Amino acid sequence: MPLFGVDKRMKVVSVGAHPDDIELGMGGTLAKHTARGDDAQIILCTLGGVSGDPRQREEEARKGAQVLGIKKLHILDYPVSKLNKPSIEFEKIIKKVVEEINPQRIYTHSPFDYHQVHIAISKAVSNGAKEVNQILFYEYISSTTPNFIPNAYVDITKYIDLKIKSASQHKSQSVRLYIKPNVIRSLANTRYISAKLGSNPSGLAEAFVINKMIL
């Protein structure tokens, strides 16, 4: 028996505000889930608002998910302008979608974030998915605050290329600093080393804050 989790394949879902959030925050972890045969799904809450053509961003999101081996992408296309603060209406939508998927674990944005839409989604998931036993927060390099103190890690050394490839599908965002491969690698290497996960100097990890894990 394993120390944590269950002795069978898992169903997990990752919730992201904008089309590239999940790939950048936890693309390696999702690739690892799918490589292990887990049923990994994505809930994409918006199509990015003002930062690009929604049709193009949807297409990029589909391609990014495909690279990671995601079989199901749920696009809610909720108006970004309504997510500038926590919303009961949105919480109900998330609750319904999560109930339909019925995952064992949810990954979502962290509340330790400067971006108000990320915070609103983090709160909506934490409240709307109370029935889910495991909720973890991922980090988003451009907006995570220093209060994000990770206490869970996933070794993604073998999956970094997939992560970078999935992020690179978001061509409309390619000018952004945080989507550059060296930035992605640098954070992952820092997380691996600071978490003392091993002695591989090229080791790479993604970091999470556990909201709850009921085992």
Partner 1 sequence: MRIVAIGSKLSDFEVGCYRTLMKYSADGHAVNLVIAGNTTKWKEKDLALANEKCKKIGITKVYFTDKFDEHSVTQENVRTLHSIIKKVNPCLAILPFHKTSVKKREILANSAILACRGIKNILMYEITKNKNFSPNIFFTFEKKSPGKPMMMTSEINSSIRRKAAQKFSSNKIGTDKLTEAFESLRVLLLDSSEMV
Where on the chain is the footprint of partner 1 (CB under 8 A)?
1-8, 10, 29, 32-33, 36, 130, 136, 150-155, 195-198, 208, 210-215
What is the Cα–Cα distance from 179 to 66, expressed in whole angstroms?
18
Q: How far is the CB of 154 from partner 1 (least distance, A)?
A: 5
Tell me whether residue 166 or residue 173 sits nearer to partner 1 (CB atom): 166
Long-range contacts of 52-57 (CB under 8 A, 24+ apart): 52/172, 52/173, 53/172, 56/172, 57/18, 57/19, 57/170, 57/172
Of residues 83 and 156, the one with the C-beta less far from partner 1:
156
Least CB distance from residue 183 to partner 1, whole Å? 23
Nearer to partner 1, 88 or 213 (CB): 213
Q: Which residue's entry shows tokens 């990994």?
A: 40
Rounded to a whole number of angstroms, the minimum distance from the CB of residue 55 to partner 1 is 34
Nearer to partner 1, 47 or 156 (CB): 156
Q: How far is the CB of 40 from partner 1 (least distance, A)?
A: 11
Write the DSSP assignment of 83-139 as a string of letters.
GSS--HHHHHHHHHHHHHH--SEEEEE-SSBS-HHHHHHHHHHHHHTTT-SEEEEE-
Nearer to partner 1, 33 or 118 (CB): 33
> CB of 33: closest distance to partner 1 in angstroms?
7
- The Cα 7–Cα 86 span in angstroms is 36
Determine the Cα–Cα distance for residues 104 and 46; give it in Å rounded to an integer: 23
